[in-house]
């Protein structure tokens, strides 16, 4: 019965956070309905807000209108967007435009729309791990699309996780060149080598910078973040893609429960760097 129960957890998360399902709680909120938030929504919003504050808005759950504008949302018509359109949408982007009061979300600007795609998957992994632990299992691993929580050990040894080498193309083979032990913690990887479009030799990735309103032009190819839970790791991995190496490392120095591993492009060569506390 376990696979069915795990599926039902994923269905509940999807029914709350999916931007592709017009009946989800999130879509109904974005459409202007007054909704009653569930605990999942409240937890994910609160964590989003904390990460936004810690990263000076590099992570921002109000990014949905930009996601749609660039064609990485429901429309899926990826296109270069003129600056005038970006400027008009940016007026209602900003995590400070929305507050949580008595389990109700209040918009300071009616056109604000939310997107939790950079944190909800990590939250789903945490929920599944908590459920499996609740059933009494002590040694297990949960992985959903590159987001991982590990508990206990495998045959008396720590779980070993591999970080994927970035691929040249969106459908390149999965390979790993760096492995590490992960015990009772979570890791999430954000990369820009799977979801992008190219025009005139320029690559436009799905990692959007909330400040500029444009896909982040960066030499960072992938960021892996270890944290106490996968929701936090997921959000910071996205924020660090936007912030780049130096600013991200400064945040990790101040936040001892985070560790980070970067893969970046140095004039056509892959290079890696990590915080001293990354195993």
Residues 6+ apart with CB under 8 A from 135: 2
Nearest to 271 by CA among 134, 200, 194, 165: 165
Q: How far apart are the C-alpha atoms of 81 and 216, rounded to whole Å?
A: 14
Across the chain, which has 279 residues, the per-10-residue mean pLDDT values are: 90 95 95 93 97 96 91 69 89 94 90 95 97 96 94 95 76 76 95 65 75 86 95 97 94 96 88 94
pTM of the complete model: 0.92
Q: Are 224 and 189 in contact (CB under 8 A)?
A: yes
Alpha-carbon distance of 184 to 190, in angstroms, equals 21
pLDDT for 200 equals 63
| pLDDT in the model for residue 170 | 58
Residue 216: its pLDDT value, please?
79
């Amino acid at each position: 019965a376990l696979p069915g129960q795990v599926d039902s957890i994923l269905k509940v998360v999807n029914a709350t956070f999916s931007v592709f399902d017009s009946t989800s709680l999130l879509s109904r909120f974005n459409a202007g309905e007054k909704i009653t938030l569930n605990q999942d929504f409240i937890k994910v919003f609160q964590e989003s807000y904390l990460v936004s504050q810690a990263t000076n808005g590099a992570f921002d759950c109000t990014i949905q209108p930009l996601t749609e504008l660039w064609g990485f949302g429901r429309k899926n018509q990826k296109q270069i967007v003129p600056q005038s359109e970006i400027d008009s949408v940016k007026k209602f982007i900003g995590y400070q435009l929305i507050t949580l009061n008595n389990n109700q979300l209040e918009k300071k600007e009616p056109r604000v729309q939310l997107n939790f795609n950079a944190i909800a998957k990590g939250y789903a992994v945490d929920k599944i791990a908590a459920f499996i632990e609740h059933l009494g299992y002590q040694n297990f691993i949960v992985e959903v699309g590159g987001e991982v929580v590990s508990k206990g050990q495998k045959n008396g040894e720590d779980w070993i996780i591999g970080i994927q080498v970035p691929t040249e193309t969106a459908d390149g083979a999965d390979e790993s060149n760096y492995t590490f032990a992960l015990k009772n913690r979570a890791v999430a990887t954000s990369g820009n080598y799977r979801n992008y479009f190219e025009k005139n030799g320029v690559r436009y990735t799905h990692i959007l910078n909330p400040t500029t309103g444009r896909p982040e032009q960066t030499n960072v190819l992938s960021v892996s973040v270890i944290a106490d839970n996968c929701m936090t790791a997921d959000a910071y991995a996205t924020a660090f893609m936007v912030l780049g190496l130096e600013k991200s490392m400064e945040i990790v120095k101040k936040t001892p429960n985070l560790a980070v591993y970067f893969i970046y492009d140095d004039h056509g060569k892959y290079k890696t760097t990590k915080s001293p506390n990354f195993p």
